[in-house]
């Protein structure tokens, strides 16, 4: 009888021990509790400040073509060559003046002869002045003397003009530079005949100024303004700091491209006809944009993960445009106001539930131009 209480005590302890080791009933989680927290930003218009590049050719700002003004004369001397700087009015070519010298002398003699004949005719006309109706000479003879005087004076004037023309052409035997600048090209040799062809004898870059003529799309033209700073990289690898001088007011109807002229310093290594690439470091544009981290790139192209009103994500394809300062513009994609996942690298599938947390987009900062 003494063992019965002990057995009951052990049984009770076993039951209590088993009760203590039992599991608590599981609590079922909701979809909202299982949702992953992600940072989101809105698709909205933002100012993109960043590097815009454009390529083009180096061309003279103003180019002067030099041709002889008189034809039919041989080139006696060529006084300058390509690569030389010349000043306005400097003689570039001297033509042979032997023929024109004789013509000037001959024309001078004819002009003097005509002037004397005109004076003689005018004197004869002056002697019959006031004799009209007096019967000394017929009216026909009086009129004839007066007409002869006028004709002689007209002939004298014509000969004087021809003499002046001959002297002017003689002065044009020295072919001079119309502007000061750098001689880019020479196409004349001693012995050539000044035949008035279409090919200029010299091409001169006024002031020696060469600038970059770059082509940009209509959208990029809106991001460039006169006076804007640009760093131009030459084919040699060297760079030059320039400024936008002119932005084309129109675009080509076929290519849909417009031109920008960038003024460059006068340097020996900046040659007309060369190649250059401009970097517009402070180009600004306003467009729908998102942070670059929000764009995912895979075999299907660029895309973003859009968070819907039900807090579920869905992939949306996008077409990207200019970028800078951590932002990228969306040419095609979700409308303004859409929420997209900030980190495109996050492993999310269509239909996944998320808990969106608003995040700030990076502030636009000017990009520094690399030299």
Give the tens place of pLDDT for each residue, 34-84. Answer: 788 899 999 998 877 666 889 999 999 999 999 998 888 999 999 999 999
Average pLDDT over residues 222-248: 91
Q: Is residue 1 scored above 60 in pLDDT?
A: no
Average pLDDT over residues 208-235: 91
Please report which confidence band the pLDDT of residue 278 belongs to, taking 50, 70 and 90 as the band edges: very high
> Which pLDDT value is given to residue 71?
87
Q: Is residue 19 scored above 70 in pLDDT?
A: no
Please report which confidence band the pLDDT of residue 366 belongs to, taking 50, 70 and 90 as the band edges: very low
Higher model confidence: residue 171 or residue 25? 171
Please state, in angstroms and rounded to a whole number, the distance separating the CA atoms of residues 1 and 7: 11
Please state, in angstroms and rounded to a whole number, the distance separating the CA atoms of residues 267 and 7: 111
> Which pLDDT value is given to residue 32?
59
Please state, in angstroms and rounded to a whole number, the distance separating the CA atoms of residues 120 and 131: 19
Q: Is residue 246 scored above 80 in pLDDT?
A: yes
Record the tokens describing residue 30, joined without a space: 């909701």
> Which pLDDT value is given to residue 368?
43
User: What is the rounded end-to-end Cα distance, in angstroms, of the chain?
Assistant: 105
Per-range mean pLDDT, top range of 166-175, 198-207, 214-223, 284-293:
198-207
**Model pLDDT for residues 313-340, shown as the tens digit of each residue:** 999 999 987 777 788 889 899 999 999 9
Say if strands 44-60 and 75-78 run parallel, antiparallel, or are unpaired.
unpaired
Please state, in angstroms and rounded to a whole number, the distance separating the CA atoms of residues 160 and 108: 8
Alpha helices, H only, 35-181: 98-127, 139-171
Q: What percent of the chain has pLDDT over 90?
A: 46
Instruction: Tell me the DSSP string of 219-246.
Output: HHHTT--TT-EEEEEETTS-EEEEEEEE
Q: Is residue 240 scored above 90 in pLDDT?
A: yes
Asked which of 140-144, 237-241, 244-248 is least confident by mean pLDDT, the reply is 140-144
**260 CB-near residues (< 8 Å, 6+ apart):** 54, 56, 213, 214, 215, 216, 221, 224, 244, 246, 247, 248, 278
Q: Is 290 exposed, middle or buried (0-12, 13-18, 19+ CB in 10 A)?
A: buried
Please state, in angstroms and rounded to a whole number, the distance separating the CA atoms of residues 306 and 304: 6
Record the tokens describing residue 115, joined without a space: 């002037």
**Model pLDDT for residues 76-133, shown as the tens digit of each residue:** 999 999 999 999 999 999 999 888 888 888 888 998 998 998 888 888 777 777 665 5
User: Is residue 302 a contact partner of residue 28, using CB atoms and an 8 Å limit?
Assistant: no
């Amino acid at each position: 009888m003494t063992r019965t209480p002990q057995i009951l005590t052990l049984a009770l302890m076993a039951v209590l021990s088993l009760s203590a080791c039992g599991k608590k009933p599981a609590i079922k989680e909701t979809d909202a509790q299982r949702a992953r927290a992600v940072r989101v930003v809105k698709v909205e218009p933002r100012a993109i400040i960043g590097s815009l590049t454009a390529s083009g050719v180096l061309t003279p700002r103003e180019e002067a073509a030099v041709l002889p003004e008189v034809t039919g004369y041989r080139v006696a001397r060529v006084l300058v060559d390509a690569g030389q700087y010349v000043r306005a009015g400097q003689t570039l070519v001297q033509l042979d003046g032997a023929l024109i010298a004789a013509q000037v002398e001959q024309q001078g003699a004819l002009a003097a002869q005509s002037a004397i004949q005109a004076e003689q005719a005018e004197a004869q006309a002056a002697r019959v002045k006031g004799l009209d109706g007096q019967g000394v000479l017929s009216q026909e003879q009086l009129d004839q003397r007066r007409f002869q005087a006028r004709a002689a004076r007209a002939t004298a004037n014509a000969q004087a003009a021809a003499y002046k023309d001959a002297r002017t052409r003689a002065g044009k035997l020295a072919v001079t530079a119309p502007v000061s600048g750098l001689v880019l090209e020479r196409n004349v040799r001693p012995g050539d005949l000044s035949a008035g062809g279409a090919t200029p004898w010299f091409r001169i870059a006024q002031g020696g100024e060469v600038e970059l003529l770059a082509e940009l799309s209509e959208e990029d033209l809106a991001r460039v303004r006169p006076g804007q700073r640009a760093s131009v990289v030459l084919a040699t690898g060297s760079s030059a700091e320039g400024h936008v001088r002119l932005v084309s007011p129109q675009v080509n109807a076929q290519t849909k491209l417009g031109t920008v002229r960038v003024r460059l310093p006068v340097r020996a290594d900046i040659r007309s006809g060369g190649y250059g690439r401009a970097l517009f470091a402070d180009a600004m544009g306003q467009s729908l944009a998102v942070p670059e981290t929000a764009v995912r790139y895979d075999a299907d192209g660029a895309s973003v993960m859009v968070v819907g009103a039900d807090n579920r994500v869905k992939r949306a394809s996008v077409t990207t445009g200019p970028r800078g300062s951590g932002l990228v513009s969306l040419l095609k994609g979700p409308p303004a106001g859409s929420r997209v996942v900030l980190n495109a690298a996050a492993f999310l599938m269509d239909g996944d539930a998320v808990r969106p947390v608003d995040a700030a987009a990076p502030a636009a900062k000017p990009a520094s131009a690399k030299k």
